[in-house]
Amino acid sequence: MIELESLTKTYAEITAVKDLTLQVPPGQIFGFIGPNGAGKTTTIKMLGGILAPSSGRVRICGFDMAKAPEEAKRRIGFIPDRPYLYEKLTAMEFLRFHAELYGVGGNGFKARAEKELDRFSLLDWSNELIEAFSHGMKQRVVMAAALLIDPKVIVVDEPMVGLDPIAIKMVKDLFRNLAAGGAAIFMSTHTLQVAQDLCHRIGVIHRGRLIATGSPEDLMRQAKTTETDLEAVFIRLMEEDSLGIGGVRHG
C-alpha cells in the first residue's frame, strides 16, 4: 500500500511537486504520466526515500518514510530509469549484495537468485562482470534484484526503457502477476501505450500538480473525448491545464 499525503517538493524557487495526495492499494498498478519536467522522477525519488519532501508524507505499508525509513524501504522494490550498478561485481554477486542489504540473503538465496536471473534470461551471464552488460541487460539485473526481495510495493521509473520487445512483454506479464499476487505498483512512464495496457489507474501530473486520476476510461470521460487512444486524452488534458480550464479531476 502506498500513501502520499500533501507531498510537496521545492528546489529554491521551483516547485517540482505540489500538494500531491494519492493512494495505491495492494493489487493495483498505478501509472504516473506527464510531460518532461512535470515532477514524475521527483515523486518517484521521494517514494524511494532518495529525496526528502519539503512537506507532506510518504507511507509504505503503513510505515512513514521520514520516521521509519528502513522499514518502509524494506518493502519496496525500487527500479530507477537508469540502471547504475557496481560494474565490478558479477550479476550473481550483485544479487547477493542486494539480498543481504534487505536481509533476505540467507537460506534459499541461490535458488531464488537463479530463478530471477533465469526469468530475465540472465542465468548464462550470472558470473560475468556487470561492466560487460548492455543497458538492457543492466536494466534486467535491476529488475531481478528488485523482485528478489519479494517486495510488497514496486516503484518503477520508466520500466521499459532499454528493453527488447520480448523483455517488454515479459515485464508486462510479470507486473500483472505481481499485482494479482497483492503487490502495489507505482510506475512512471512516458510510453502511454504501456500505461494504457497495464495500469488499473493512471495519474496525470503537469507542472508538479496532479491534474487527473482514474482508470483509462475515466480519463477519457474527464477529457470529454471520444478517442480511445490515451495519447489524445493526455494531449487534451495538457492543453486544458495549460489554458487553466482543467482543475483537479478524479475518476
Partner 1 sequence: MGEIVTLLKPRLWSFRARGTAGKRDRRLKLAVLGVIGGLFWAGLFALSLRVLTYFRSVDQLGEMLAHKLLSMVLVTFLSLLIFSSILTLLSKLYLSRDLSLVHATPVPGRKIFLARWLESTVDSSWMVGIYALPFFIAYGIVFRAGPIFYLNLFVNLASLSAIASAVSAMLIMTAVMIVPASRIRTIFVFLTLTFFLILFFAFRLLRPERLVDPEFFETTLVYLQALRAPLPAYLPSTWAFDSFTALISGRILTGLYHDALSLSCVGFLCCLMVLLAESVYFKGVSKTQTAAARLFKRSIGGEFIFSRFTGPRGAMAAKEIRTFFRDQTQWTQLFLIGALIVIYIYNFRVLPLERSPIKTVYLQNLLSFLNMGLAAFVLSALTARFAYPAVSLEREAFWLIRTAPISLKSFLWTKFFIYFLPLLVLTEVLIVATNFLLEVSAFMMVLSTVNVLFMVPGVVALGVGFGAAYPDFTSENPMQSVTSFGGLLFMIVAALFIGAVLVLESGPVYTILMAGFQGRSLTLLQWLWTGASFSASAALCIAALLLPMRYGVRQLETQRD
Distance CA 119, CA 166 (A): 12
- Shortest CB 46 distance to partner 1, Å: 9
User: Does residue 39 belong to the site contacting partner 1 (CB under 8 A)?
Assistant: no
Q: Between residues 67 and 169, which has the closer beta carbon with respect to partner 1?
A: 67
Distance CA 210, CA 247 (A): 9
Contacting residue, 59, 74, 112, 209, with partner 1 by CB under 8 A: 74
Question: Nine-digit cell at 54?
Answer: 519539503
Q: Between residues 51 and 171, which has the closer beta carbon with respect to partner 1?
A: 51
Contacting residue, 31, 34, 39, 48, with partner 1 by CB under 8 A: 48
Q: Between residues 132 and 248, which has the closer beta carbon with respect to partner 1?
A: 132
Contacting residue, 84, 111, 166, 224, with partner 1 by CB under 8 A: 84
Contacting residue, 32, 78, 120, 175, with partner 1 by CB under 8 A: 78
Phi, psi of 166, rounded to the nearest 5 degrees: -65, -45
User: Does residue 169 belong to the site contacting partner 1 (CB under 8 A)?
Assistant: no
Instruction: Give the binding range for partner 1 (CB under 8 A) out of 12-20, 129-137, 204-212, 228-236.
Output: 129-137
Contact residues: partner 1, CB under 8 A: 48-52, 69-74, 76, 78, 80, 82, 84-86, 88-89, 93, 96-103, 105-106, 127-129, 131-132
